[in-house]
Structure 1
Amino acid sequence: MPLELVTIPCLSDNYAFLVHDTETGRTALFDAPEAAPISDALKERRWTLSDIFITHHHGDHIDGVDALRAEHDARVIGAKADAERLPALDRAVTPGDLVDFSGHDVRVMPADGHTIGHIAYHIPDAKAAFTGDSLMALGCGRLFEGSAEQMWSTLSQLAGLPGDTLICSGHEYTAANARFALSVDPQNADLIHRADAVNAARGKGEFTVPSLLSEELATNPFLRANVDSMKKAVGMENAADAEVFAEIRRAKDNF
């Protein structure tokens, strides 16, 4: 495969992601929580950073950008709608744009909800989507700025990607998310099995991110607000999908 994906743990529970084109030698970074571990990963592999893609403005996703740009002279790509809250952008993008990375399309997707101006990136050739704090492993981001309707729209669009897409999200929250998911969807056999696997992985210090979209569709309660069994589980059989999502999000906030 010409594209290699590397997951880098940062801070206490963040992740950054490198995508390296083995044919051209170019390397893209998705989010930069802090510079040091990312710089170390690049040096270990003798890679030079060419591009930095930002999902949203929170410090635990951008604080390493300027140091890495200075070290590697990388171009920085982020949302035009949020440019005033991001590091200086070399390219400001809007949902629907395509960005070329080493001959591979990077699709910019809307991801409002956690923040306004949040975006996600999908690289079909890598079978990977970089979702920041929108769709997460067994969860989704808190609604700090956006509405439940906006987040449901975001999740619905991400749910439409191919099932074998790797969801590269921003945090190691999966074990806690699994405990909540079981509280609202306790009869879901796929979820029970996944929760056991997550707990085993975390017990060995292993990452649970990235995750497959197909697995999220089967087990993530926030993606399942349109599923009859999920609606029944929360006592909202006749409610609109966005209303069910909003109720699940409220329950998680108070869990």
Structure 2
Amino acid sequence: MPMPQFIALPAFQDNYIWLLLDETTLQVAAVDPGDAQPVITWLSRHPEYQLSTILLTHHHQDHTGGVLTLKGATGCKVWGPANDNIKGIDRRLEDGFRVCLFEQEIEVLTVPGHTLDHIAYFCNHLQDPWLLSGDTLFAGGCGRLFEGTAEQMHASLQRLANLPDNTTIYCTHEYTQANLRFARAVEPNNPDIKVRLEVVEDLRRDGRITLPTTLALEKRTNPFLRCEDQHVRAAAAAHSGAMPTTGVQTFSAIRSWKDTF
């Protein structure tokens, strides 16, 4: 089956609501619609499309705030984590579930850390695999630890890092520039970070989106996926005052550093 078309709708200050368009059925899936208005506006401008599904990654209001309005307006079905506090979910998803969206199989991955209920959606689509990573893996960074532990988040990121390198990653915030400025502080001599930051700063100067990204690019430039690298370990030691002996310790040190960067 052909890949769905991905469209990013800006919301709030720096959120993106991703729309997945099936050109065969003219159905649309919306990912983490924290605000209903951008989706309603898009649908009104494209009346040939019908919102059929909402995919949620976690319970934060900036990802779920528009769900009930959109469900009431369109009759769409809502998929999301097995969290009873999220209103409107029709299908509660758990780790390892395989669901069909637009005739494509999507695997549900539990990735706790940012929140305890966080899930991601992975489609191993032939030559073009893709991932909806929510607030777990960002371009150049990762989510804050609001509920989970460093051990949980590190394990979640390692799980995502084991996906195919050509996986295209659709995350939900425009944090890339700030993340890469931190990555440059961690690895000032990493040429991939230097070049990527220059490209991203040009994009943001023009008000353009920096997403999606790819797993291969993240492995070269995202310090939170590079916790075994000697340069990242050395930077963590210099900041924390103690040489980490495990990837989790490195992650914990640089995540704490990023929180105050």
Q: Shorter-normalised TM-score: what interval?
A: over 0.9
1:72-221 superposed matches below 5 A? 72-80=74-82, 82=83, 84-125=84-125, 127-221=129-223
Which segment drifts farther, 145-154 or 21-30? 21-30
Question: Is the contact made by 1:149 and 1:242 (CA closer than 8 Å) also made in structure 2?
Answer: yes
CA drift of 1:238 comes to: 5.8
Describe the superposition over 1:184-240 as per-residue Cα deviations: whole angstroms up to 9, x where unpaired: 111110001011111100000000122111111100011111223322333376611
Asked if 2 retains the 8 angstrom alpha-carbon contact of 1:3 and 1:21, the reply is yes
Counterpart for residue 253 of structure 1: 259
TM-score (norm 1): 0.95
Distance 2:140 2:227 in 1: 13
Q: Which moved more, 1:134-143 or 1:39-48?
A: 39-48
Closer, same or farther in 2 for the Cα pair 1:200/1:157, shift >3 Å? Answer: same
Distance 1:112 1:2 in 2: 28
For 2:233 and 2:59, the matched residues in 1 are separated by: 33
Amino acid at match of 1:118: H
Paired residue type of 1:49: L
Distance, in Å, in 1 between the alignment partners of 2:164 and 2:10 is: 26
Query: Does the C-alpha gap of structure 1 residues 204 and 161 become closer, same or farther in structure 2, counting only changes over 3 Å?
Result: same
Do structure 1's residue 36 and structure 2's residue 42 form an aligned pair?
no
2: distance between equivalents of 1:39 and 1:213?
31
Match in the other structure for 1:65:
67
Identify which of 50, 54, 57 aligns with 1:55.
57
Give yes or no for contact 2:244–2:250 (8 Å, CA) kept in 1.
no
Runs of 4+ in 1 over 3 A off after TM superposition: 235-238
Structure 2: distance between partners of 1:232 and 1:219 = 16
- Structure 2, unpaired ranges of 5+: none
Q: Distance in 2 between matches of 1:206 and 1:183?
A: 24
1:153, CA displacement in angstroms? 0.7
How far apart in 2 are the matches of 1:243 and 1:62?
32
Q: Is the 8 A contact 2:79 2:93 kept in 1?
A: yes
241, 249, 257: which is aligned to 1:243? 249
SS state of the match for residue 85, structure 1? coil
